[in-house]
Structure 1
Amino acid sequence: MEPRKVFKVGVGGPVGSGKTALIEMLVPVLIARGHSPGVITNDIYTQEDAEHVRRTMAGVLDSERIVGVETGSCPHTAVRDDPSMNLAAAAELLDRFSDIDMLLFESGGDNLTLTFSPVLADVYIFVLDTAAGDKMPRKRGPGTTDSDLLVINKIDIARYVRTDLSVMERDAHTVRGAGPVVLTDCLAGTGVAEVADFIEARMEAMCVPGR
Structure 2
Amino acid sequence: MAQPTDNKPETCRFEAPVATVRGAHDEHSHSHSHAPGQEHGHTHEVLDHPGHYHERDPPKYQHRDWSERAFTVGIGGPVGSGKTALMLALCRKLHPKYNIATVTNDIFTQEDAEFLLRHKALPANRIQAIETGGCPHAAIREDISANINALETLQAKHQCQLLLVESGGDNLAANYSRELADYIIYVIDVAGGDKIPRK
Shorter-normalised TM range: 0.5 to 0.7
For 2:134 and 2:89, the matched residues in 1 are separated by: 28
Answering whether residue 117 of structure 2 is matched by residue 54 of structure 1, we say: yes
Answering whether residue 133 of structure 2 is matched by residue 72 of structure 1, we say: yes
Moved over 4 A (4+): none
**What pairs up with 1:118-133 in 2 under 5 angstroms?**
118-133=178-193
- Matched residue type, 1:51: E
| Change over 3 Å in CA distance of 1:25–1:78 after alignment to 2 | same
Aligned to 1:45: 108
The alignment's TM-score, normalised by the length of structure 2, stands at: 0.63
Aligned to 2:31: none
- Once the two structures are superposed, residues 144-176 of structure 1 have per-residue CA deviations (whole angstroms, 9 ceiling, x without a partner) of xxxxxxxxxxxxxxxxxxxxxxxxxxxxxxxxx
Aligned to 2:196: 136
Aligned to 2:124: 63
More helix by share: 1
Q: Quick check: which has more Rg, 1 or 2?
A: 2
Q: Deviation at 1:5?
A: 3.7
Q: SS state of the match for residue 171, structure 2?
A: coil
Is the CA contact 1:43–1:49 (under 8 Å) kept in the aligned structure 2? Answer: yes
For 1:112 and 1:79, the matched residues in 2 are separated by: 12
Q: SS state of the match for residue 125, structure 1?
A: strand
For 1:55 and 1:109, the matched residues in 2 are separated by: 20
User: Which residue, out of 55, 74, 77, partners 1:10?
Assistant: 74
In structure 2, list runs of 5 or more residues that go unmatched: 1-64
In structure 1, list runs of 5 or more residues that go unmatched: 142-211
- Matched residue type, 2:168: G
Q: SS state of the match for residue 167, structure 2?
A: strand
Q: SS state of the match for residue 102, structure 2?
A: strand
**What pairs up with 1:31-180 in 2 under 5 angstroms?**
31=95, 34-56=97-119, 58=120, 60-98=121-159, 100-137=160-197, 140-141=198-199
Aligned residues: 134
Q: Deviation at 1:122?
A: 0.2
Quote the sequence identity (%). Answer: 49
For 1:108 and 1:47, the matched residues in 2 are separated by: 10
